[in-house]
């Protein structure tokens, strides 16, 4: 705890607290939200985000967790006993009225289980996911099919996939699924655990800026994402408007 407090003051992650266009999103496999919620609450790098996604919340259906300034809009929970499962989405109170169609699902087969919960906001579908290790490709195909039925464009999926993207063999088996649904891994090979594995993925069809934060209370590091806005796009708009006014001025002078 002393180490966490000391390092939380360092300006290394100042970028996370800067104002940006578009949504700022962070996912963390928190390994018990109830136990660690105050550490999140007191960390400005977390509370500067518009949307917080959590995996392994370990919450039971009758447990409530609050984060000041945020609303819990969607989650999966366990019926009776706390286990290393569950996902949740918190949205800042000043934009929570923009959230539509919050929903969740739990997909299972003999190989494993995938917890998923999602919202649509600003025409983008944001999904938090946690998969148990060794979930089959057939189960993942069902996951992506579910997402495609919700929204076929502007999708951001963040979560603990429990597949190491640094492992070429493991990733090569999964990659055809991403291609099938016109998605890509935005943070390929980004280390997200204390054992230097890349388990926490950001899957999308949208250009994103992404990175990793630090965690001293979980085996996993948080990962963050923010939409990239093209300066060329705005330059094109500016030039179009300038040419329009130049044309109008030219016509007026020659009347």
Please give the tally of structural domains in the chain. Answer: 1
Rounded CA separation 95/19 (Å): 15
Tell me the pLDDT of the chain (255 aa) as tens digits. Answer: 444 444 444 445 555 666 667 899 999 999 999 999 999 999 999 999 999 999 999 998 778 799 999 999 999 987 766 678 999 999 999 999 999 999 999 999 999 999 999 999 999 999 999 999 999 999 999 999 999 998 878 999 999 999 999 999 999 999 999 999 999 999 999 999 999 999 999 999 999 999 999 888 899 999 999 986 544 444 444 455 555 555 555 555 555
Q: Which domain holds residue 84?
A: 2-253
CATH number of the domain residue 245 falls in: 3.60.10.10
Determine contact, residues 220/193, Cβ cutoff 8 Å. yes
The whole-number pLDDT of residue 253 equals: 57
pTM, rounded to two decimals = 0.84
Rounded CA separation 209/192 (Å): 16
- For helices 137-150 and 168-180, the axis angle rounded to 10 degrees is 30
Nearest to 114 by CA among 95, 94, 134: 134
The whole-number pLDDT of residue 245 equals: 54
Please report, for residues 48, 65, 244, the alpha-carbon distance to residue 29 in angstroms, rounded to integers and kept in the order given: 18, 16, 51
């Amino acid at each position: 705890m002393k180490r966490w407090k000391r390092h939380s003051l360092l300006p290394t992650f100042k970028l996370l607290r800067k104002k940006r266009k578009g949504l700022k999103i962070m996912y963390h496999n928190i390994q018990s939200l109830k136990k660690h919620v105050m550490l999140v609450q007191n960390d400005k790098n977390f509370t500067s985000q518009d949307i917080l996604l959590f995996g392994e919340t370990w919450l039971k259906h009758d447990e409530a967790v609050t984060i000041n300034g945020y609303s819990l809009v969607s989650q999966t929970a366990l019926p009776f006993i706390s286990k290393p499962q569950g996902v949740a989405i918190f949205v800042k109170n000043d934009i929570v009225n923009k959230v539509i169609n919050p929903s969740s699902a739990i997909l299972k087969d003999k190989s494993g289980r995938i917890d998923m919960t999602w919202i649509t906001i600003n025409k983008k579908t944001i999904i938090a996911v946690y998969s148990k290790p060794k979930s089959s490709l057939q189960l993942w195909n069902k996951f992506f099919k579910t997402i495609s039925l919700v929204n076929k464009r502007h999708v951001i999926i963040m979560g603990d996939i429990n597949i190491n993207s640094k492992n070429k063999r493991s990733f090569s088996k999964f990659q055809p699924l991403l291609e099938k649904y016109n998605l890509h891994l935005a943070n390929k090979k980004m280390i997200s655990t204390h054992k230097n594995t890349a388990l926490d993925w950001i899957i999308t069809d949208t250009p994103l800026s992404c990175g990793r934060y630090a965690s001293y209370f979980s085996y996993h590091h948080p990962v963050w994402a923010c939409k990239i806005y093209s300066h060329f796009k705005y330059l094109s708009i500016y030039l179009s408007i300038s040419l329009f006014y130049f044309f109008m001025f030219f016509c007026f002078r020659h009347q």
